[in-house]
Amino acid sequence: MRNVWRKRAALMLTSMSLALFTDAMCRIPAEAQEKRPTAQEVIAEIQSHVGVPWKTETVDTFKAGNPETRVTGITVTMMATLEVLQRAAAKGENLVITHEPTFYNHLDRPDGMEESDAVWKEKREFIEKNGMAIWRFHDHWHLRNPDGILAGMVQALGWEKYQSKEDPHLFKVPEITMERLAADVAGRLKTPVLRAVGNPEMKVTKLALSPGSAGFQRETHALEMENVEVRLVGETREWETVEYAADAATEGKRKGLIVIGHVPSEQAGMEECARWLKTFVKEVPVEFVPAKQPFWTPAERSARR
C-alpha cells in the first residue's frame, strides 16, 4: 500500500513540475516581447543620439503604422518602396526607417491623388497587414555634423582624403578626364543610369558633390565658383541646371555636370545610418536594405542576352 501511495505522490510531483515548466516556457516569449522597445522608444533613442536640436517643423515623423508597435527588427533604407517593405516583412523586421517619402511626395500626402488609387491603397494595406511602422529620417540626418548622407557617400566614393576641410562638399582629386570620372562614379555607386553634360575629354581636378536634389540656385552657384569644374548632383530639372551646364560648355567654359540619380546619390548615406544605429540600438537587429533602382537601359538588356 505504501508503494502505491509513493508512486502516486511521485506522479503528482512530476505533473506539477511539468506544469510549472510549461507555464514558465509560455511566459518567456511574452516577457521577451515586453522587453522589446516600441517604435516610439527607438525613435526617442535616435533623437537623443543624433546630436542636433530636434525641430518642431520637420518631415521626420511616422508615416504609417502604430508608434507603440513592439519592434522585432529594423530595416534602414533610402526609399521605402513596396519591394523594400516586402523584403523587410519577410525577415520579420517591422520598423522601417526611410530617408525619402513612402507615399510619393515630400509630405507623404500626394497632391491630386485619391486614397482609393490602386497603387497607393495596396501599399497602405500591405503595411497594415504586416503590422509595420514607417518613420522618415531626413532633416536631422542631414543636419547632423557631419551630414550623415554626405559622410556615407564620400566613404563609398573613396574621396575622404580629397575632401576640403573648409567646405565638405568640395574635393580636389588627381587629374582625370570627365568621362573617366563619370565611369568611376557609376562603378563605385553601382548605378546603371548616369548622365553627364560637358566635354568628356576635359581634364578635371576640382569637384563639388551635392547628393539628392539641391536646387537650381545652389547648383549653379557652385558651378560659378573657380574651384569647381564639375558638379555632381543627384537629380535636377533639365531646363534648369542641365541647360545651364550645357550653355557653359558651349561657351567654352571648363564646366561640367554629372547627374547620378537621386537614390544612388544618397543610398550609401543610409547605409552609414544603419551602421550608426547599431552603435546604440542593441535590443533588436538593424539591417540596411538598399532600394533597388528601377531603371534599366536597352543597351544593358542587350548585353545580358
Residue 270, CB-side half-sphere exposure with 13 Å CA sphere: 30
SS3 96: strand
The strand order across the sheet containing 256-259 reads 170-177, 203-210, 230-233, 256-259, 195-197
The answer, as to whether pTM is greater than 0.85, is yes
User: For residue 19, is pLDDT > 80?
Assistant: no
Write down the pLDDT at residue 26: 47
Give the separation between CA 15 and CA 17, rounded to whole angstroms: 5
What is the rounded average pLDDT of the residues 169-179?
Answer: 98
Do residues 102 and 137 touch, judged by C-beta distance below 8 A? no
Phi-psi region of 167 (alpha: psi -120 to 50; beta: other; left: phi over 0): beta
More confident residue, 22 or 51: 51
pLDDT in tens, 52-82: 999 999 999 999 999 999 999 999 999 999 9
User: For residue 128, is pLDDT > 90?
Assistant: yes
Give the CA radius of gyration of the chain. Answer: 26
More confident residue, 207 or 20: 207
How much of the chain, in percent, has pLDDT values that exceed 70?
89
Write down the pLDDT at residue 293: 85
Joined grid coordinates for residue 63: 508615416
**Banded model confidence at residue 226, pLDDT cuts 50, 70, 90:** very high
Residue 239 DSSP label: I
Nearest in space to 258 (alpha carbons), one of 228, 289, 299: 228
Q: Please report the sign of the dihedral spanned by the C-alpha atoms of residue 182, residue 183, residue 187, residue 188.
A: negative
Write down the pLDDT at residue 156: 98
β-partners of residue 288 are 76
- 112: CB partners within 8 A, 6+ apart: none
| Alpha helix stretches (DSSP H) within the chain | 2-35, 39-49, 82-90, 118-129, 139-143, 148-157, 178-189, 216-224, 243-250, 262-277, 298-304
